[in-house]
């Protein structure tokens, strides 16, 4: 396109030079003076032809011709100029000593301008017959003037040297011009590329700011997707994170966002495109999904989507997810968009890392605060739990010491029973604290053997009935129960804790039921009460260390019993769960595997 433009500009410039040449020719013909018979008329005819041809070439030069026509027009113009100059040279042979032969240098320079050295030398050869005829005509007109061959060879030699010099100058000028144009085009390309890079960096900065606008992943991703829409157009976009073998869809926008893999959904990564990214850590460009290679692509095809670009979310050298962009057209992503999407993937990965680090720190701080509060409550509770029985023990002991002789035998027995009961409470409290410490240290010991859970349930219920006057405890054992492998005393400790809690929270006159039965290859023990129940938000808390219900249904205690009971159940390969609702009682279920 640049060469064609140069040809057109050259042709137009030469056309205007011809216009000036016509005026100059008219002036020279008019002032030439003496003409032999018929020569003046030939001169004016030639000038007329020159004027008409100049006008035609001027009009033609202003048209936008295709390259082939433009080249042909240039060749015709050169031939026309050569013919006009040759005619003038031959007409004015009658002027002795006139430098008319040098006019041939004009088309010579034009030939060099158009075709370089080759064109100039070609015109030199074409002018040789003209110069030879000119010398012959002059020899005939001015006898005894002889034919001078050296005049012809001198003219031709000068033309050849000028052709070489001027042709080389034009070739070099054209080469330098091409180099300059190439460099200018390269500079313009680099400028445009730099501008695009600057725009991309600015857009990337906006995306980065969007990602850092919130410490909530969902909100940060939504803001990021709004920025991406103006940077890399898409018909569907999704951000997917890899979580323990599953692909977690964090954010989706575009076609089928609410139906196909909506936000919050999860699928196994096996066989998906995410699995390939996790393995290779490189972007995958599916130019056409017409032949689906991954399960999700069939759903995309149903939405009318054809091409897909997925770039990994890289944290260092590890892929934690992917950024997926999909378009309706096949092979719709450019190289620049693929490169830019890779940069965006790193930004998303960095944001995920920062937000997750913040979340981890926040959870750690909250957990530390919760544990600190629990420990403070525990210290307060333990202090209270210790103070009450110790006060009773100390008071009873001093009364016995000071008034032993005044008290009757029955009174002495009552005080001794009180001391025994309160010291038992102290021993239980200290035992729970020690057991908790051993569980945390991993030194909680077990002695495993065959345990008959039916007998264990009956014995535990019988023991509980002896110490409970207001609440009746009933056992229902569905024999035969298979034996389990476990620690008899530790399992008894679990059952007594559950039964004591049920009695503690049951209204006077109600029953506590303990049911033992086999089901699906396991043995289950349900401890059922009709107490105030446990709110849903407290059901996880009660199994934690120092965890206690904070509602008005709470009873005195350390909050360690159920933590110990669940730890013992899990050490036996079982579980301890609760099913409860406010004002509907509670059912604690101990689930243990049958001995194989």
Q: What is the pLDDT of residues 299-322, one digit of tens each?
A: 888 888 889 888 888 877 788 888
Mean pLDDT of the chain: 81
Confidence (pLDDT) at 294: 87
Q: Which of 288, 299, 206, 210 is nearest to 249 (CA)?
A: 299
Nearest to residue 51, comparing CAs of 94, 18, 96?
A: 18
Distance between CA 433 and CA 437 in Å, rounded?
Answer: 6
pLDDT at 372 (0 to 100): 72
What percent of the chain clears pLDDT 90, i.e. is strictly above it? 8
* pLDDT (mean) for 247-274: 84
Strand ranges for 455-521 from DSSP E: 472-477, 484-486, 511-519
Instruction: Give whole-number Cα distances, 233 to 132, 241, 514, in Å.
Output: 74, 22, 65
Alpha-carbon distance of 229 to 232, in angstroms, equals 6
Banded pLDDT at 552 (limits 50, 70, 90): very low
593 three-state secondary structure: strand
Q: With bands split at pLDDT 50, 70 and 90, how would you rate the model's confidence at 432? A: low
pLDDT bucket at 373, cuts 50 / 70 / 90 = low
Q: Report the relative pairing of strands 575-580 and 511-519 from DSSP bridges.
A: unpaired
The confidence score (pLDDT) of residue 207 equals 62
Strands of 586-593's sheet in order across = 472-477, 511-519, 522-529, 586-593, 575-580
More confident residue, 260 or 349: 260
- Strand-pair category, 307-315 with 284-286: antiparallel
Model pLDDT, residue 467: 73
Read off the pLDDT of each residue in 397-418 and give the average, rounded to a whole number.
76
- pLDDT (0 to 100) of residue 539: 75
Q: Structural domain boundaries of the chain?
A: 2-184, 217-357, 449-593
pTM for the predicted model, two decimal places: 0.42
Those residues whose C-beta lies under 8 Å from the C-beta of residue 477, and which sit 6 or more positions away, are 454, 457, 458, 515, 516, 517
How far apart (Å, rounded) are the C-alpha atoms in residues 313 and 352?
9
Write down the CATH number for the domain with range 449-593: 3.30.565.10
DSSP H or E segment with residue 279: helix 273-280
Fold held by 217-357: Beta-Lactamase (3.30.450)
Q: 516 in helix, strand or coil?
A: strand
What is the Cα–Cα distance from 524 to 375, expressed in whole angstroms? 33
pLDDT band at 433 (very low <50, low <70, confident <90, very high): low
CA–CA distance, 120 with 439 (Å, rounded to integer): 105
Residue 272 has pLDDT above 90, yes or no: no
| Mean pLDDT score, 459-481 | 83
Residue pLDDT, tens place only, 103-162:
888 999 988 888 889 988 999 999 999 988 988 888 887 776 678 888 888 888 888 898
Q: For residue 17, what pLDDT band results from cuts at 50, 70 and 90?
A: very high
CB 237 within 8 A of CB 228: yes
- pLDDT of 492-550, one tens digit each? 888 888 888 888 888 887 888 899 998 888 889 899 888 888 888 787 778 776 666 65
pLDDT at 273 over 90: no
pLDDT the model gives residue 55 = 94
Over range 229-250, report the average pLDDT: 83
CA distances from 426 to 168, 388, 400, 501, 544 (A): 115, 10, 20, 17, 22
More confident residue, 196 or 488: 488
Q: Please, which pLDDT band fits residue 49 given cuts at 50, 70 and 90?
A: very high
E runs forming strands in 104-223: none
Identify which of 8-22, 389-403, 436-450 has the greatest average pLDDT.
Answer: 8-22
> How many other C-beta atoms are found inside a 10 Å radius of the C-beta of residue 434?
11
203-230 pLDDT, tens digit each: 666 666 666 656 566 677 777 777 777 7
* Residue 553 pLDDT > 60: no
Q: Average pLDDT of 177-185?
A: 83
Cα separation, 201 vs 231, whole angstroms: 11
Q: What is the pLDDT of residue 96?
A: 74
* Dist CA 319 CA 164 (whole Å): 67
266: pLDDT strictly greater than 60: yes
Tell whether the model's pLDDT for residue 336 goes beyond 70. yes
pLDDT at position 415 over 90? no
From 175, 75, 168, 157, select the one nearest 117 (Cα to Cα). 168
Tell me the DSSP string of 90-134. HHGGGSTT-GGGGGGHHHHHHHHHHHHHHHHHHHHHHHHHHHHHH
Over pLDDT 70: what percentage of the chain? 85
- Strand duo 484-486 + 522-529: pairing: unpaired
> Of 4-18, 365-379, 402-416, 544-558, which range is least confident?
544-558
Question: How confident is the model at residue 475, as a pLDDT?
Answer: 87
Q: Which residue has the tokens 């000038």?
A: 47
List the single range of 203-207, 469-473, 480-484, 558-562 with lowest mean pLDDT: 203-207
Output the DSSP codes for 2-59: HHHHHHHHHHHHHHHHHHHHHHHHHHHHHH-----TTHHHHHHHHHHHHHHHHHHHHH
**CA-based max dimension of the chain:** 184
């Amino acid at each position: 396109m640049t060469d064609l433009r140069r040809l057109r500009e050259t042709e137009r410039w030469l056309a205007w030079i011809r216009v000036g040449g016509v005026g100059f020719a008219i002036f020279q013909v008019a002032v030439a003076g003496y003409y032999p018979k018929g020569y003046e008329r030939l001169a004016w005819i030639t000038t007329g032809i020159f004027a008409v041809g100049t006008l035609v070439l001027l009009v033609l030069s202003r048209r936008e011709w295709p390259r082939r026509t433009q080249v042909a027009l240039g060749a015709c113009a050169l031939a026309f100029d050569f013919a006009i100059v040759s005619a003038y040279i031959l007409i004015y042979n009658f002027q002795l000593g006139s430098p008319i032969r040098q006019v041939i240098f004009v088309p010579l320079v034009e030939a060099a301008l158009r075709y370089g050295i080759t064109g100039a030398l070609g015109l030199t050869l074409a002018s040789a017959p003209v110069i030879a005829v000119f010398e012959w005509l002059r020899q005939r007109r001015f006898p005894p003037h002889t034919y001078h061959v050296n005049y012809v060879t001198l003219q031709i030699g000068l033309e050849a040297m000028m052709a070489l010099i001027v042709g080389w100058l034009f070739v070099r000028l054209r080469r330098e011009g091409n180099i300059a144009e190439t460099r200018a085009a390269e500079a313009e390309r680099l400028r445009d590329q730099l501008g695009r890079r600057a725009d991309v960096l600015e857009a990337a900065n906006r995306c980065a700011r969007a990602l850092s606008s919130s410490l909530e992943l969902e909100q940060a991703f939504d803001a990021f997707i709004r920025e991406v829409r103006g940077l890399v157009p898409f018909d569907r976009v999704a951000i997917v994170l890899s979580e323990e073998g599953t692909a977690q869809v964090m954010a989706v926008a575009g076609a089928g966002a609410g139906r196909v893999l909506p936000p919050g959904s999860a699928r196994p990564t096996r066989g998906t495109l995410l699995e390939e990214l996790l393995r290779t850590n490189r972007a995958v460009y599916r130019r056409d999904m017409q032949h689906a290679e991954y399960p999700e692509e069939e759903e995309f095809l149903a939405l009318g989507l054809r091409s897909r670009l997925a770039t990994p979310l890289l944290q260092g050298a590890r892929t934690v997810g992917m950024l997926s962009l999909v378009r309706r057209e096949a092979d719709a992503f450019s190289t620049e968009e693929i490169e830019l999407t890779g940069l965006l993937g790193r930004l998303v990965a960095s944001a995920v890392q920062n937000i997750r680090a913040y979340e981890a720190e926040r959870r750690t701080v909250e957990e530390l605060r919760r544990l600190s509060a629990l420990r403070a409550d525990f210290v307060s509770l333990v202090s209270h739990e210790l103070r009450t029985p110790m006060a009773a023990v100390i008071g009873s002991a001093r009364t016995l010491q000071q008034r032993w002789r005044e008290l009757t035998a029955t009174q002495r027995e009552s005080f001794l029973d009180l001391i025994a009961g309160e010291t038992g409470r102290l021993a239980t409290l200290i035992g729970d604290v020690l057991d908790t410490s051993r569980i945390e240290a991993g030194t909680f010991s077990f002695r495993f053997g065959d345990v008959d859970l039916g007998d264990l349930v009956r014995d535990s219920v019988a023991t509980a009935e002896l110490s409970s006057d207001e609440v009746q405890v009933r056992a229902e054992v569905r024999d035969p129960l298979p034996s389990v492998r476990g620690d008899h005393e530790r399992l008894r400790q679990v059952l007594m804790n559950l039964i004591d809690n049920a009695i503690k929270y049951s209204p006077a006159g109600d029953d506590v039921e303990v049911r033992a039965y086999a089901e699906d290859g396991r043995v289950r023990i349900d401890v059922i009460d009709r107490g105030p129940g446990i709110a849903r938000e407290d059901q996880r808390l009660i199994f934690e260390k120092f965890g206690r219900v904070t509602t008005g249904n709470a009873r005195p205690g350390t909050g360690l019993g159920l933590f110990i009971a669940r730890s013992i159940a899990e050490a036996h390969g079982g579980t301890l769960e609760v099913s409860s609702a406010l004002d509907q009682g509670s059912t604690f279920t101990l689930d243990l595997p049958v001995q194989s």
